[in-house]
């Protein structure tokens, strides 16, 4: 198995499905079923999820709110999504643990690296909520940081598009898709994969990223079985 321990990064927006805001129950249940499939085939799975379907720190700044305050609100939004995903997984019979970077004793364990690794070894899915616990860092940075801390083999970035393109394929019909690309080429071409802090962490720690379309059922399993789906970013 090439990638035994994985970190799956999901955007908050992806949970909206066809809605304009919040969480689409059908979409989150479809994700839970895909995650269950790969858990059953022996993969160890950690998950980081964004909060953009509920609140973004950047939004707050635009409205005149202090950025730090807004970012903490965004971290709380990720916890709402993490709890929803936990509930969906558990209703599908998958044991999960939710760990938060901000202490919330009633709903989550604090993030403790050794404990997270032990949960993974026991076959539990671990969801990391509240980002890094620090303002000015995105959930992409949280995903990279947690992946490195738990010694994940790969980051799988589930998006609405089926990989990395030379331009936005939703706007530019001539955009071409890369099947694989190096970190250096992503820099040179100015492609938007993750924010720069997250991306640099992955490059320096030799952690590959696979960007793929999570909304097509079965894709998660196909990516891990080595099918040429999505784009692999590597050194």
Residues 25-48 have pLDDT tens digits of: 999 999 999 999 999 999 999 999
Burial of 49 (0-12, 13-18, 19+ CB in 10 A): buried
d(CA 215, CA 30): 8
Residues with Cβ within 8 Å of 105's Cβ and at least 6 positions away in sequence, in order, are: none
Q: Which CATH number does the domain 5-234 belong to among 1.20.58.480, 1.20.950.20, 3.40.50.300, 3.40.1160.10?
A: 3.40.1160.10
Mean pLDDT of 50-75: 88
pLDDT tens for each residue of 77-134: 999 999 999 999 999 999 999 999 999 999 999 999 999 999 999 999 999 999 999 9
Q: What is the pLDDT of residue 49?
A: 97
Q: What is the pLDDT of residue 128?
A: 98
213 has pLDDT over 90 = yes
Indicate the average pLDDT of the chain: 95
d(CA 79, CA 50): 9
192 has pLDDT over 90 = no
Q: Model-level pTM?
A: 0.96
How would residue 169 be classed by pLDDT, with cut points 50, 70 and 90? confident
Nearest to 29 by CA among 38, 18, 17: 17
Paired sense of beta strands 231-234 and 180-182, if any: parallel
């Amino acid at each position: 198995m090439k990638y035994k321990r994985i970190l799956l990064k999901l955007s908050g927006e992806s949970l909206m499905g066809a809605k304009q805001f919040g969480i689409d129950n059908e979409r989150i249940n479809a994700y839970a079923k895909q995650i269950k499939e790969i858990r059953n085939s022996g993969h160890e799975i950690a998950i980081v999820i964004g909060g953009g379907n509920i609140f973004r720190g950047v939004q707050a700044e635009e409205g005149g709110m202090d950025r730090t305050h807004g970012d903490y609100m965004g971290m709380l939004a990720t916890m709402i999504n993490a709890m929803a995903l936990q509930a969906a997984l558990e209703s599908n019979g998958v044991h999960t643990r939710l760990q938060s970077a901000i202490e919330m004793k009633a709903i989550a364990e604090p993030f403790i690296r050794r404990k997270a690794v032990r949960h993974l070894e026991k076959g539990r899915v671990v969801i990391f909520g509240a980002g890094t616990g620090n303002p000015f860092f995105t959930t992409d940075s949280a995903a990279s940081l947690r992946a490195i801390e738990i010694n994940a083999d790969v980051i799988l970035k589930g998006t609405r598009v089926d990989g990395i393109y030379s331009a936005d394929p939703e706007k530019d019909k001539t955009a071409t898709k890369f099947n694989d690309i190096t970190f250096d080429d992503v820099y040179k071409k100015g492609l938007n994969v993750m924010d720069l802090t997250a991306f640099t962490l992955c490059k320096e720690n030799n952690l590959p990223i696979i960007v793929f379309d999570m909304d097509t059922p079965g894709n998660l399993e196909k990516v891990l079985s080595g099918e040429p789906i999505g784009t692999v970013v590597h050194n």
